[in-house]
Chains A and B, each alone.
Chain A
Amino acid sequence: MFDWLQHFADWLIYSVFGLTHGSKVGDALNFFVFDTIKIFILLGLVTFLMGIVNSYFPIDRVRNFLTKRKWYGLDYFLASFFGTITPFCSCSSVPLFIGFVKGGIPLGVTLAFLISSPLVDAVSVAMFIGMFGWKTTIVYVVSGIVLSMIAGYILGKMNLEHLLTDWVKKILENKQIADEEFEAEKKTFFQRLPEIGKEALGIVKGVSLYILIGIAIGGLMHGFIPTGFFEEYISKENPFAVPIAVILGVPMYSNAAGVLPVMQVLVQKGIPLGTAIAFSMAVVGLSIPEGLLLKKVMTTKMLFIFFGVVTACIIISGYLFNLIL
């Protein structure tokens, strides 16, 4: 699919700039040009496609959909699934949390949404396709959804309602099933397109700096770290590699755009793919800033339980990835 682009990068770096094929600088630059263009093309495509879906299923509609009837457990799947197509800004997590539980959506289902939304989104999907190919992307998306469902289900079963902060408990006492009908915008597909395009452009713009930095670091490492360098230290056989990688990743705050280009190179240099994915999930899915925001609705104890359960699920999936990939 991207052969033409590799030819272009080869031509630009080796013919136009006259750098030697196989030289460190030449290879690093070639990698940078190829990856940057490829990622921006994919990112534009995926954010635009998800923008179309999201235009027809905005978050308000998702909430109404989930509150309208009893789902008998299927709601965990629906919440996790819709979490992936909804663009998510971490500063929306609190209003979203309140809005969901106030509307009568069970706590576990709300948390499933909250886990899956940053974990799998347009940016991470585009980055995964570009960096690791289709097969790994599908594994990532499916496991991201399954992981959110399971973690949400476990948290739901733990009955943590009493560990919410007081003002949230008060809101819950007065909760009402949202009966306001969501008024769908009556717009034709073509009337929606400009807005969707603008949204997609905004998302791409927002992460472009991270991508450039991520790919630049990746390009340097690509050119200068010998292949197989990490195999000595982090191998599939080392049982502690996954938990250590995940626990290191949890407090870090970045998005898929910054992390994955570096991960791709680390994998080429010998870090097992499953370990790298688990690390990325930990970085993207959980972070200290998100924890601080959630402190507004959760007591410290509940926050630790929430982070603990999700971290455990990511570690387990890391081991599973290493088995199947």
Chain B
Amino acid sequence: MKKQVKVLGPGCAKCKTTYNNVLEAVKQLGIEADVTKIEDIEEMMKYNVLTTPVLMVDDVIKIKGRVADINEIKTLLTA
């Protein structure tokens, strides 16, 4: 099944790094995934987050408040 990956963050450097890491991880794994970036704060607040960036896989918050590196994301995506 296609993984749904969401990166939440208002566009700061950390959020961009996370987003790029996700794209890279997906590419390296060679899997199909929907990667979306949520930059709108009102939208973001629906997920009840306190710190950004947030990484969600299939609507479950996996990582918040820090940048996840590529290997970590690969583990999350294959789990």
Taking beta carbons and an 8 Å cutoff, which residues of A are in contact with B? Answer: 58-60, 63, 87, 89-92, 94-96, 98-100, 102, 167, 171, 199, 202, 293, 296
Query: Quick check: is B76 within 8 A (CB to CB) of the other chain?
Result: no
Is B75 on the interface with A (CB-CB < 8 A)? Answer: no
Chain A residues within an 8 Å CB radius of B14: 89, 91
Complex Cα–Cα for A33 and B41 (A)? 43
A98 to B49, CA, bound (A): 9
Shortest CB–CB separation between residue B16 and chain A, in angstroms?
10
Residue B66 lies at the interface, judged by CB distance under 8 Å to chain A: yes
User: Given A95-B41, A167-B42, A202-B67, are A89 and B52 also a contact pair (CB < 8 Å)?
Assistant: yes
Residue from B11, B65, B66 whose CB has the most chain A CB atoms within 10 Å: B65
Size bin of chain B's contact surface: 10 to 19
A99 and B48 within 8 A (CB): yes
* Contact (A91, B50) CB under 8 Å given A98-B45, A167-B42, A199-B66: no
B7 beta carbon closer than 8 Å to chain A: no
Contact between chains at A60 and B12 (CB < 8 Å): no
B52 vs chain A, min Cβ distance (A):
5
Residues in chain B within 8 A of chain A (CB atoms): 9-12, 14-15, 41-42, 44-45, 48-52, 65-67
Interface centre among A63, A90, A94, A171, by most B CB within 10 Å? A94
Told that A89-B51, A91-B12, A199-B66 touch, could you supply 11 new A-B pairs with CB distance under 8 A? Answer: A58-B65, A89-B12, A90-B12, A91-B14, A95-B45, A95-B50, A96-B50, A99-B49, A102-B45, A167-B42, A202-B67
Asked whether, in the complex, the Cβ of B45 is within 8 Å of the Cβ of A171, the reply is yes
Contact A94 B41 (CB under 8 A): yes
CB-CB nearest in chain A for B49? A95
Alpha-carbon distance between A167 and B42 when the two chains are bound, in angstroms? 8
Contact between B10 and A293, CB atoms less than 8 A apart: yes
- 23 interchain pairs, CB-CB under 8 A: A59-B65, A63-B50, A87-B65, A89-B14, A89-B52, A91-B9, A91-B10, A91-B12, A91-B15, A92-B50, A92-B51, A94-B10, A95-B41, A95-B44, A95-B45, A95-B49, A95-B51, A98-B45, A99-B50, A171-B45, A202-B66, A202-B67, A293-B10
Could you tell me the distance in whole angstroms from the C-beta of B44 to the nearest C-beta in chain A? 6
How far apart are A301's CB and chain B's nearest CB, in angstroms? 20
Is the CB–CB distance between B51 and A59 below 8 Å?
yes
- Which single member of B45, B48, B65 contacts A92 (CB below 8 Å)? B65
Cα separation A305 to B30 with both chains bound (whole Å): 52
Q: What's the least CB distance linking A181 to chain B, in Å? A: 14
Q: How far is A143 from B50 in the complex, measured between Cα atoms in Å?
A: 26
Q: Nearest CB to that of B45 among chain A residues? A: A98
Instruction: Determine how close the nearest CB of chain B comes to the CB of A312; give it in whole angstroms.
Output: 29
The residue in chain B whose Cβ has the minimal distance to the Cβ of A195 is B66
Q: Is the CB of B66 within 8 A of A95?
A: no
Q: How far is the CB of A130 from chain B (nearest CB, A)?
A: 25
Instruction: Give, as a whole number of angstroms, the nearest-CB distance from A255 to chain B.
Output: 13
Residues of A within 8 A of B65 (CB): 58-59, 87, 92
A95's contact among B11, B52, B67, by CB below 8 Å, is which? Answer: B52
- Who on chain B is nearest to A62 by CB? B50
Inter-chain contacts of B12 with A (CB < 8 A): 89-91
Which residues of chain B come closer than 8 Å to A89, judged between CB atoms?
12, 14, 51-52
Tell which of A92, A202, A296 touches B52, judged by Cβ atoms closer than 8 Å: A92
Give the residues in chain B near A58, CB-CB below 8 Å. 65
Contacts of B45 in A (CB 8 A): 95, 98-99, 102, 171
Closest A residue to B66 by beta carbon equals A199
Cα(A185)–Cα(B11), bound, Å: 28
Measured between beta carbons, the chain B residues less than 8 angstroms from A199 are: 66
Complex interface: chain B residues within 8 A of A63 (CB): 50
Q: How far is the CB of B47 from chain A (nearest CB, A)?
A: 9
